[in-house]
Amino acid sequence: MSDALIRSRIKINPKELSEIKKHLGVKSIKNRIDGSIPGGFLAEVGDKIYDFTVHIDQSVNPQKAYSVGKIVLIGDGVAEADGLSEAMLGEIVEIENKGRGLVLNLSPKSLGIVILGDYSQIKPGDSVKTTGRILSVPVGKEVLSRVIDPLGQPLDGKEDFRPEKYNPLEIIAPGVMARQSVSVPLQTGIKAIDGMIPIGRGQRELIIGDRQTGKSSIALSTIINQKHENMICVYVAIGQKRSNIAQFIAILEKFGAMSHTVVVAASASDSPAMQYLAPYAGCAIGEYFLQKGKDALVIYDDLSKHSWAYRQISLLLRRPSGREAYPGDIFYAHSRLLERSCRLNQKSGGGSLTALPIIETQAGDLSAYIPTNVISITDGQIYLESDLFNSGQKPAINVGNSVSRVGGSAQIKAIKQVAGRLRLDLAQYRELQAFAQFASDLDDRTKKDLNRGSKLTELLKQGWDEPMPVERQVVSIWAGTNGILDDIDLLKIKNFENHLLDYVDRHNPEIFKKIVSDKVLSPETAEKLAKAVRDAKQVFNPK
């Protein structure tokens, strides 16, 4: 049993003090006059405070009890506090009137607190109290087209939005019984991805590669292409320059893509805590639309910087470091985030949450700690190669190292029919290309395969601002895999593709309509397509 201190505006009579002593179960009790208390009293027992104050409107404070403590150390947005015996991991604590913190470390002697927001005014000796709340982000339809920080505060200079509710940043991922298999395609508008590395709604597909290889460009194209796909997009910018984030937002606005997009930004100038929380906030916003039965896409750009922020926080919290100085739970930090992506069954609402995490490699090293971790969590990866990018192949996708573990089940049958041979042809081309450098004499079959591969490679070149609808992709890839491009000059492939698509659009628009409606290339449609392609080629290159 401990002692209690009762603070009240007026002196409490001995009989009432005795009742309070009995209620609190303490050995002794003292009463101190405190003019700052409007009415009622505060009871302090050790580091715990029981709040029984009464306000002017006679309402009793709903916060009945909380623990208090003091800041002992603070630096780089991470504080250490003593007391707070009732604090929980992941709980929000209030630091006087100077800000809020998140409890990330529990030890017998002290607590590790990550400061949320500005920490310049907080100093040792400041009092801290528990709130009993966990960190949540405001969500609702009004968050669409907005730029916010990980705590839900607007960054776009517009007025505050009225949230429909608050979603916790961390929840347990839906169980196996609430999910269904991934079978609905997420069309990125990029021929190389939709044709060979298809992504399904509810999938987790990693985009990986060195810096400046076009990783964010793939994300940008995908968001732009969702304009008519009934897909909500959440773009999470972690540790990037503010100028880059502003440029990304300006491009989305230019293409009219901000109407279906939310941007969660924690820039390089923000604290490590904000960078650490950003992907969880983006996921919580995506889950709001998932719970409404809608399809949502979350892009984490990028989880390498998220790992660096978490490592910095963990080292400041004096946690034991492991491989590459990362904390031991870095794998769990990413797995509990990415496992929340899923496609729910109809009984659970039928929505989907797709994740496209981005990882930056160093000199193409896929065996480094963070890349191998995230590769093992995701359902496949799109590997971008510096050599391909520098040679002018954009998107610079290495077909051999890229894979989608969902495979053809996330493609419409039409594109599966025409792109089936595409991956094999390109893989053969890469092998023959390496072999042909050392061979002085090549047979006709090898020359033919090399020619076909070079034309297909040229066909798959695509700018980030040129997302292509799937029906146009079917026509374009059909021409490539059926040898129509074999005798066309390499430098004219792009011109022929544009000519072909315009020709079909003008003279045979029913081909596009049938592909969209049937989602399959029927024998009749294939016959019409073959004739249209031959006619277009005749017009383009008359003999």
Find the range with the poorest average confidence among 8-17, 200-209, 313-322, 368-377: 8-17
In whole angstroms, what separates CA 315 from the centre of its chain?
A: 25
* β-bridge mates for residue 300, sequence order: 236, 357
Cα separation, 504 vs 525, whole angstroms: 12
Confidence of residue 58 (pLDDT cuts 50, 70, 90): very low
Q: Which domains does the chain carry?
A: 1-62 (no CATH), 66-134 (2.40.30.20), 137-411 (3.40.50.300), 416-540 (1.20.150.20)
pLDDT score, position 542: 61
CA-nearest of 3, 7, 18, 67 to 41 is 7
- C-alpha–C-alpha distance, residues 540 and 543, integer Å: 10
Considering the chain, what is the average pLDDT of its residues?
89
Structure tokens at 244: 């880059």
Is the CA virtual torsion 492, 495, 498, 500 positive or negative? Answer: negative
Contact 413, 520 (CB under 8 A): yes
Backbone angles phi, psi at 407, to 5 degrees: 70, -145
- What whole-number distance in Å separates Cα of residue 141 and Cα of residue 143? 5
According to DSSP, the residues that pair with 382 across neighbouring strands are 207
Query: Among residues 446, 411, 416, which one has the least CA distance to residue 428?
Result: 446
* Segment 126-145, tens digit of pLDDT: 999 888 889 999 999 999 99
What are the pLDDT digits (tens) for 480-491?
998 899 889 999
Peptide bond into 163 cis (omega under 30): no
Which range, of 10-19, 107-116, 391-400, 531-540, averages the lowest pLDDT? Answer: 10-19
Tell whether the model's pLDDT for residue 107 goes beyond 50.
yes
Cα 468–Cα 237–Cα 297 angle in degrees, nearest 5: 45
Q: Give the pLDDT score at 235.
A: 98
CA nearest neighbour of 303 among 331, 328, 334: 334
Cα(281)–Cα(38) distance, integer angstroms: 38
Position 502 scores a pLDDT of 94
Task: State mean pLDDT over 460-478.
Answer: 92
Give the DSSP per-residue string, 364-417.
Answer: T-TTSHHHHHHHHHSSEEEEE-HHHHHTT-SS-B-TTT-EESSGGGGS-HHHHH
Residue 235 burial by Cβ neighbours in a 10 Å radius (0-12, 13-18, 19+): buried
Please give the Cα distance from 310 to 312 (Å, whole number).
5
Question: Quick one: which of 539, 484, 530, 486 has its CA closest to 508?
Answer: 530
**pLDDT at site 357:** 97
Mean pLDDT, range 292-310, rounded to an integer: 96
Task: Give yes or no for residue 60 having a pLDDT over 50.
Answer: no
**Quick one: what percent of the chain has pLDDT higher than 70?**
97
> The whole model's pTM is what?
0.88
* Percent of the chain clearing pLDDT 90 (strictly above): 63
pLDDT at 169: 93
Q: Which residues contact 528 (CB under 8 A, 6 or more apart)?
A: 508, 510, 511
Q: Does residue 272 contact residue 112 with C-beta atoms inside 8 Å?
A: no
- What pLDDT does 334 receive? 97
Question: How much is the average pLDDT of 235-244?
Answer: 96
pLDDT of residue 31: 86
Q: Residue 149 carries which DSSP code?
A: -
> Looking at residue 427, what is its pLDDT?
80
Residue 211, both tokens = 């810096």
Main-chain phi, psi angles of 324, to 5 degrees: 55, 30
29, two tokens? 């009790």
405 is known as an active-site residue: yes
From the candidates 405, 421, 430, 472, give the one annotated as an active-site residue. Answer: 405
Cis peptide leading into 302, omega within 30 of 0? yes
N-terminal to C-terminal alpha carbon distance within the chain: 102
Q: Which amino acid is at 191?
A: K
Do residues 463 and 394 make contact, with C-beta atoms less than 8 angstroms apart? yes
Residue 57 has pLDDT above 60, yes or no: no
Asked whether the CA dihedral 313, 271, 238, 286 is positive or negative, the reply is: positive
Residue 125 has pLDDT above 50, yes or no: yes
pLDDT at 420 over 90: no
- Listed residue (171, 134, 168, 163) closest to 146, CA to CA: 163
Of residues 433 and 95, more confidence is placed in 95
Q: Is the per-residue pLDDT at 52 higher than 80?
A: no
* Mean pLDDT, residues 295-308: 96
Angle at 23 between CA 18 and CA 27, to 5 degrees: 65
Tokens (6 digits) for 210: 């060195």
120 or 145, higher pLDDT:
145
